[in-house]
Each structure stands twice: as structure tokens, then as C-alpha cells.
Amino acid sequence: MKKAMLLIIALVIAAGAFAQIEKPVKWSYAAKRISSTEAVVFLRATIDPGWHIYSQDIKDGGPVKTSFTFAPSKEYALVGKTAEPTPVTKFEDAFKMNVSYFEKTVTFQQKIKLKSANVKSVKGQLEYMVCNDRKCLPPEDVDFDIALGK
């Protein structure tokens, strides 16, 4: 009985070791100072083949759109909304509507007005959802801290 129980426990542990957590999107960040009072931050998604993430402009009833929340700061202010390139727009059966999305890579840009010369970084959180032709993964929140440099 003891050996059988140990065998079952070993099998459960082994099965868990082979289970993979899917992470089809990797985020990277950069910033560029345009002048002493302006900068642009870049938020880049690199997306595995066959997967896509959604635009910031998705109608209600569709997938979770990509969104950016920048931490409030006395050292900088956002200028306009976060820019994105032109997405692919197609009808998706899963949502019964046209949706706009990005494949392979996409770089979002946010212009920042610097109120202080001492600004070291821009912090915030992004939310996105990733899907392929078979399934969607739950929406994910990712914290970011983008160094501005000099």
C-alpha cells in the first residue's frame, strides 16, 4: 500500500513537471528623450507565431483590449493617448465581430512631458489578452518600469 501511494505521488509530481505554462508574448521597453522637456516611451510586444494580441480600440463584447495605465507622477505628464500602428482587422468567430489585432511584433508609444530634470523612470501597468485560432489565454497584467536615461 505504501509503495502504491509513493508511486501515485511520484506520477503526479512528474506530470506537473511536464506541464508548460504558455507565455506566447514577451514585453520589452525603451525610452528616448526628445528634448529636455519631452520623452517617448516604447512598449514592445514580441508575439509567438500563430498568436495575436488585440488593439487598444476594441468594441464592447469582444476580447480584452490592450490597455496602458501609467502611474501618476508630479515629475511627468502624458501627452495624448498611447499610439499604436495600424492593426489587422478581421472577423473572429469566437467573438462574432470584427476585431483589430497584432501579430509577430507591435510597438506602442507614449509621449511624455517632463516636469522635472530628475525623472528617472516611467512606471505603470499594461493589460492584454492573447489568442490563437484555437483558444485565448486569460487576460494578463504586467507591471513596467521604463528607465529614461539622460
pLDDT tens digits, one per residue of 21-71: 889 999 999 999 999 899 999 999 999 999 999 999 999 999 999 999 999
Q: What is the pLDDT of residue 96?
A: 92
Q: Are strands 76-83 and 67-70 parallel, antiparallel or unpaired?
A: unpaired
Is the Cβ–Cβ distance between 147 and 120 less than 8 Å? yes
In order of start, what are the domains of the chain with their CATH numbers? 24-147 (2.60.40.1250)
d(CA 144, CA 66): 14
Burial class (CB in 10 A: 0-12, 13-18, 19+), 18: exposed
Which amino acid is it at 55? S
Average pLDDT over residues 3-25: 54
pLDDT bin (cut points 50, 70, 90) of residue 20 is low
Q: Over the stretch 58-111, which tens digit does the pLDDT of each residue have?
A: 999 999 999 999 999 999 999 999 999 999 999 998 899 999 999 999 999 999
Start-to-end CA span in the chain (Å): 67
Supply the pTM of this predicted model. Answer: 0.85
Burial class (CB in 10 A: 0-12, 13-18, 19+), 42: middle
Asked whether residue 12 carries a pLDDT value surpassing 90, the answer given is no
